């Protein structure tokens, strides 16, 4: 069951819906109070309890808004809370899949499912960058096979490597060879 925007008959999002989603990804449609809490979280980044309280309030007010999810992701990532960041990356990946009308399992996504080669297309780019974050976090957390699989999927979807996935592949390949090289 699709919980994102209504897709057209061919499983694609209408241009109007795509514009509304893109606006949402850029912060549009975010309740003013949630926006306030995100701003306060940024200002109180150094005060963990205060920043997290603001992020929690923003999440309560706009639980599926990309700006809130990205704010949480960044907070956890830069605080070194990679497991928490990975949980948010998974939520972002689900959101990006829904909003691009893609299969729920990123492994099933095919290059023709969205305009992945067009960097200016914000929704497919959101999916790619989310998958890149997911790959990176898995690699950092020692789940190298999962991370590598996600990187290989990125390179399949974006063979010109506009988002820089090849760097992650190089890292995981070097790590697999050990220190003997």
The pLDDT of 44-51, averaged and rounded, is: 96
Same domain, residue pair 46 and 71: yes
Count of domains observed in the chain: 2
Residue 3 has a pLDDT of 32
Residue 71 has a pLDDT of 93
Question: Where does a domain end: 28, 54, 80?
Answer: 80
Same domain, residue pair 131 and 45: no
Q: Is residue 144 part of a domain?
A: yes
Q: Is residue 168 part of a domain?
A: yes
Same domain, residue pair 88 and 38: no
Question: Where does a domain end: 51, 80, 109?
Answer: 80
Dist. CA 133–CA 93, nearest whole Å: 9
Same domain, residue pair 177 and 110: yes
Out of 26-35, 39-48, 138-147, 154-163, which region has the weakest mean confidence (pLDDT)? 26-35
Domain that holds residue 118: 81-181
Residue 54 has a pLDDT of 97
Same domain, residue pair 58 and 113: no
Model pLDDT for residues 102-139, shown as the tens digit of each residue: 999 999 999 999 999 888 888 999 999 999 999 999 99
Q: Compute the chain's Rg from CA coordinates.
A: 17
Residue 173 has a pLDDT of 85
pLDDT band at 178 (very low <50, low <70, confident <90, very high): low
Q: Is residue 35 part of a domain?
A: yes
The pLDDT of 58-82, averaged and rounded, is: 95
Same domain, residue pair 112 and 61: no
């Amino acid at each position: 069951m699709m919980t994102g925007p209504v897709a057209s008959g061919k499983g694609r999002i209408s241009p109007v819906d795509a514009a509304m989603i893109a606006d949402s990804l850029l912060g549009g449609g975010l309740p003013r109070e949630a926006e306030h809490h995100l701003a306060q979280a940024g200002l109180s980044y150094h005060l963990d309890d205060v920043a997290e309280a603001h992020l929690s309030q923003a999440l309560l007010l706009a639980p599926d808004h990309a700006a809130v999810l990205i704010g949480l992701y960044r907070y956890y990532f830069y605080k070194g809370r990679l497991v928490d960041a990975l949980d948010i990356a998974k939520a972002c990946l689900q959101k990006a899949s829904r909003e691009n009308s893609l299969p729920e399992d990123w492994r099933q996504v095919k290059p023709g499912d969205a305009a992945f080669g067009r960097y200016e297309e914000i929704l497919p780019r959101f999916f790619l960058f989310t998958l890149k974050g997911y790959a990176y976090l898995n690699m950092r957390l020692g789940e190298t096979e999962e991370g590598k699989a996600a990187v290989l999927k990125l390179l399949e979807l974006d063979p010109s490597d506009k988002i820089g996935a090849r760097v992650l592949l190089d890292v995981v390949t070097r790590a697999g060879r050990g220190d003997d090289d």
